[in-house]
Amino acid sequence: MDFAIDWSTVGRPLTKAAEQLRQGTSTEDFQSVGLLCREALTSLAQAVFDPSRHKVEDGVQPSPTDSKRMLDAFFSSELRGGSNEEARRHARAAVSLADALVHRRTASYRDAALCLEATQSTTNLVSIVTGRSEAERITTADAEPFRIPKMNDETLKSIVQQYKEQGLETSLPLLEEKDVRLARGYRMAYYPGTRREVWVGYHGGRYEHILMIKPGPGGA
Protein backbone atom coordinates (compact mmCIF):
# COMPACT_ATOMS: atom_id res chain seq x y z
CA MET A 1 0.00 0.00 0.00
CA ASP A 2 1.27 3.48 -0.86
CA PHE A 3 0.92 6.08 1.88
CA ALA A 4 0.66 9.69 0.71
CA ILE A 5 1.20 11.39 4.04
CA ASP A 6 1.60 15.08 4.72
CA TRP A 7 3.98 14.72 7.65
CA SER A 8 3.97 18.48 8.27
CA THR A 9 0.51 18.20 9.84
CA VAL A 10 2.04 15.87 12.41
CA GLY A 11 5.38 17.61 12.77
CA ARG A 12 4.00 21.09 13.43
CA PRO A 13 2.09 20.26 16.64
CA LEU A 14 4.98 18.06 17.82
CA THR A 15 7.42 20.92 17.37
CA LYS A 16 5.06 23.28 19.21
CA ALA A 17 4.62 20.72 21.99
CA ALA A 18 8.39 20.40 22.42
CA GLU A 19 8.73 24.18 22.59
CA GLN A 20 5.89 24.44 25.09
CA LEU A 21 7.48 21.75 27.24
CA ARG A 22 10.79 23.57 27.23
CA GLN A 23 9.28 26.92 28.22
CA GLY A 24 6.40 25.70 30.37
CA THR A 25 6.18 26.69 34.02
CA SER A 26 2.49 26.24 34.92
CA THR A 27 -0.12 23.50 34.96
CA GLU A 28 -1.85 25.17 32.01
CA ASP A 29 1.38 25.15 30.01
CA PHE A 30 1.81 21.42 30.55
CA GLN A 31 -1.86 20.71 29.79
CA SER A 32 -1.38 22.46 26.43
CA VAL A 33 1.38 19.95 25.62
CA GLY A 34 -1.32 17.29 25.88
CA LEU A 35 -3.57 19.24 23.51
CA LEU A 36 -0.79 19.50 20.94
CA CYS A 37 0.10 15.82 21.28
CA ARG A 38 -3.54 14.91 20.82
CA GLU A 39 -3.64 17.08 17.69
CA ALA A 40 -0.54 15.35 16.32
CA LEU A 41 -1.98 11.87 16.96
CA THR A 42 -5.28 12.81 15.33
CA SER A 43 -3.48 14.11 12.23
CA LEU A 44 -1.34 10.96 12.18
CA ALA A 45 -4.37 8.67 12.42
CA GLN A 46 -6.28 10.57 9.73
CA ALA A 47 -3.27 10.37 7.40
CA VAL A 48 -2.80 6.59 7.58
CA PHE A 49 -6.26 5.19 8.26
CA ASP A 50 -8.04 3.70 5.24
CA PRO A 51 -11.51 2.34 6.13
CA SER A 52 -11.48 0.03 3.11
CA ARG A 53 -8.29 -1.62 4.31
CA HIS A 54 -8.12 -1.11 8.06
CA LYS A 55 -10.96 -2.89 9.82
CA VAL A 56 -12.00 -1.78 13.28
CA GLU A 57 -12.39 -4.75 15.62
CA ASP A 58 -15.56 -3.58 17.36
CA GLY A 59 -17.21 -2.61 14.07
CA VAL A 60 -17.72 1.02 15.14
CA GLN A 61 -16.81 3.45 12.35
CA PRO A 62 -14.26 5.88 13.85
CA SER A 63 -15.10 9.56 13.92
CA PRO A 64 -12.53 11.92 12.33
CA THR A 65 -11.04 12.55 15.77
CA ASP A 66 -11.07 8.95 17.07
CA SER A 67 -7.32 8.47 16.80
CA LYS A 68 -7.32 5.49 19.16
CA ARG A 69 -9.62 3.36 16.97
CA MET A 70 -7.96 4.48 13.73
CA LEU A 71 -4.41 3.75 14.89
CA ASP A 72 -5.50 0.46 16.46
CA ALA A 73 -7.01 -0.66 13.14
CA PHE A 74 -3.97 0.59 11.22
CA PHE A 75 -1.48 -1.40 13.29
CA SER A 76 -3.75 -4.45 13.35
CA SER A 77 -3.80 -4.53 9.55
CA GLU A 78 -0.26 -3.41 8.73
CA LEU A 79 1.55 -5.33 11.45
CA ARG A 80 0.70 -8.96 11.70
CA GLY A 81 2.27 -11.49 14.03
CA GLY A 82 3.98 -11.20 17.37
CA SER A 83 4.70 -7.46 17.32
CA ASN A 84 1.13 -6.50 16.48
CA GLU A 85 -0.32 -6.21 19.97
CA GLU A 86 2.73 -4.41 21.38
CA ALA A 87 2.54 -1.70 18.73
CA ARG A 88 -1.21 -1.29 19.17
CA ARG A 89 -0.83 -1.10 22.93
CA HIS A 90 1.85 1.57 22.56
CA ALA A 91 -0.38 3.70 20.32
CA ARG A 92 -3.35 3.33 22.67
CA ALA A 93 -1.16 4.38 25.60
CA ALA A 94 0.03 7.49 23.76
CA VAL A 95 -3.54 8.57 23.03
CA SER A 96 -4.59 7.89 26.63
CA LEU A 97 -1.66 9.88 28.01
CA ALA A 98 -2.56 12.88 25.84
CA ASP A 99 -6.24 12.73 26.78
CA ALA A 100 -5.44 12.42 30.48
CA LEU A 101 -2.90 15.25 30.42
CA VAL A 102 -5.36 17.69 28.87
CA HIS A 103 -7.73 17.26 31.85
CA ARG A 104 -5.16 16.81 34.63
CA ARG A 105 -5.43 19.78 36.98
CA THR A 106 -2.10 18.88 38.58
CA ALA A 107 -0.25 18.45 35.26
CA SER A 108 3.53 18.64 35.76
CA TYR A 109 6.61 18.80 33.60
CA ARG A 110 7.07 15.07 34.06
CA ASP A 111 3.53 14.31 32.89
CA ALA A 112 4.01 16.45 29.79
CA ALA A 113 7.43 14.99 29.01
CA LEU A 114 6.09 11.43 29.20
CA CYS A 115 3.19 12.35 26.94
CA LEU A 116 5.43 13.96 24.31
CA GLU A 117 7.87 11.04 24.39
CA ALA A 118 5.05 8.52 23.83
CA THR A 119 3.56 10.60 21.01
CA GLN A 120 6.89 10.96 19.22
CA SER A 121 7.67 7.27 19.49
CA THR A 122 4.21 6.34 18.17
CA THR A 123 4.81 8.66 15.22
CA ASN A 124 8.12 6.93 14.59
CA LEU A 125 6.43 3.52 14.70
CA VAL A 126 4.03 4.64 11.99
CA SER A 127 6.95 6.09 10.03
CA ILE A 128 8.68 2.71 10.04
CA VAL A 129 5.54 0.82 9.03
CA THR A 130 4.82 3.22 6.15
CA GLY A 131 8.39 3.01 4.86
CA ARG A 132 9.52 6.51 5.72
CA SER A 133 13.32 6.66 5.75
CA GLU A 134 15.26 7.29 8.94
CA ALA A 135 16.62 10.56 7.59
CA GLU A 136 13.09 11.77 6.86
CA ARG A 137 12.01 10.87 10.39
CA ILE A 138 14.47 13.33 11.94
CA THR A 139 12.23 16.28 12.78
CA THR A 140 12.69 19.31 14.98
CA ALA A 141 10.85 17.50 17.74
CA ASP A 142 13.21 14.53 17.44
CA ALA A 143 16.17 16.88 17.92
CA GLU A 144 14.76 18.19 21.20
CA PRO A 145 16.96 17.42 24.22
CA PHE A 146 16.11 14.33 26.24
CA ARG A 147 15.47 15.78 29.69
CA ILE A 148 16.11 13.96 32.96
CA PRO A 149 14.98 16.07 35.94
CA LYS A 150 16.89 14.21 38.69
CA MET A 151 20.63 13.58 38.86
CA ASN A 152 20.17 10.10 40.33
CA ASP A 153 17.56 8.96 37.81
CA GLU A 154 17.76 5.32 36.71
CA THR A 155 17.41 6.35 33.06
CA LEU A 156 20.57 8.44 33.33
CA LYS A 157 22.41 5.54 34.96
CA SER A 158 21.32 3.29 32.10
CA ILE A 159 22.56 5.73 29.45
CA VAL A 160 25.91 6.15 31.23
CA GLN A 161 26.24 2.37 31.47
CA GLN A 162 25.64 1.96 27.75
CA TYR A 163 28.49 4.37 26.98
CA LYS A 164 30.68 2.65 29.56
CA GLU A 165 30.15 -0.67 27.80
CA GLN A 166 31.51 1.00 24.67
CA GLY A 167 34.64 2.00 26.57
CA LEU A 168 33.58 5.64 26.85
CA GLU A 169 33.67 7.75 29.99
CA THR A 170 30.95 10.35 30.45
CA SER A 171 30.77 13.62 32.35
CA LEU A 172 28.05 16.03 33.47
CA PRO A 173 29.43 19.56 33.07
CA LEU A 174 27.23 22.62 33.39
CA LEU A 175 25.04 23.21 30.35
CA GLU A 176 26.53 26.68 29.94
CA GLU A 177 29.98 25.09 29.56
CA LYS A 178 28.97 22.99 26.54
CA ASP A 179 30.87 24.99 23.90
CA VAL A 180 33.97 25.29 26.08
CA ARG A 181 34.02 21.55 26.67
CA LEU A 182 33.58 20.82 22.96
CA ALA A 183 36.59 23.03 22.24
CA ARG A 184 38.59 20.97 24.76
CA GLY A 185 37.85 17.72 22.95
CA TYR A 186 34.68 16.58 24.68
CA ARG A 187 31.92 15.04 22.55
CA MET A 188 28.17 14.93 22.91
CA ALA A 189 26.67 11.89 24.62
CA TYR A 190 23.36 11.58 22.81
CA TYR A 191 20.37 9.61 23.99
CA PRO A 192 20.97 6.13 22.50
CA GLY A 193 19.68 5.73 18.96
CA THR A 194 19.02 9.45 18.46
CA ARG A 195 20.76 12.79 18.03
CA ARG A 196 19.15 14.20 21.16
CA GLU A 197 21.33 15.86 23.76
CA VAL A 198 20.81 14.64 27.33
CA TRP A 199 20.01 17.45 29.77
CA VAL A 200 20.06 16.60 33.46
CA GLY A 201 19.14 18.25 36.74
CA TYR A 202 16.09 20.53 36.67
CA HIS A 203 16.44 23.31 39.24
CA GLY A 204 15.24 26.87 39.52
CA GLY A 205 13.21 26.69 36.32
CA ARG A 206 15.96 25.36 34.07
CA TYR A 207 18.24 22.39 33.39
CA GLU A 208 21.77 22.76 34.72
CA HIS A 209 23.86 19.89 33.28
CA ILE A 210 24.52 18.16 29.97
CA LEU A 211 25.87 14.65 29.39
CA MET A 212 29.15 14.58 27.45
CA ILE A 213 31.91 12.11 26.57
CA LYS A 214 35.31 12.87 28.04
CA PRO A 215 38.37 13.13 25.79
CA GLY A 216 41.30 10.78 26.27
CA PRO A 217 41.70 7.00 26.32
CA GLY A 218 38.23 6.39 27.70
CA GLY A 219 36.50 9.02 25.62
CA ALA A 220 38.40 9.18 22.40
DSSP-derived letter for residue 188 is E
Q: What is the pLDDT of residues 71-92, one digit of tens each?
A: 988 888 888 766 567 777 888 8
Percent of the chain having pLDDT more than 90? 39
Q: Which of 120, 216, 103 is nearest to 170 (CA)?
A: 216
Higher-confidence residue of 14 and 139: namely 14
CA distance 165 to 171: 15
* Domains, the chain: 8-137 (1.20.120), 146-213 (no CATH)
Cβ burial 87-100 (10 Å sphere, 16+ → b, else e):
bbeebbebbebbbe
Q: What is the pLDDT of residues 126-183, one digit of tens each?
A: 888 887 655 455 444 456 788 899 999 988 998 999 899 889 999 999 999 999 999 9
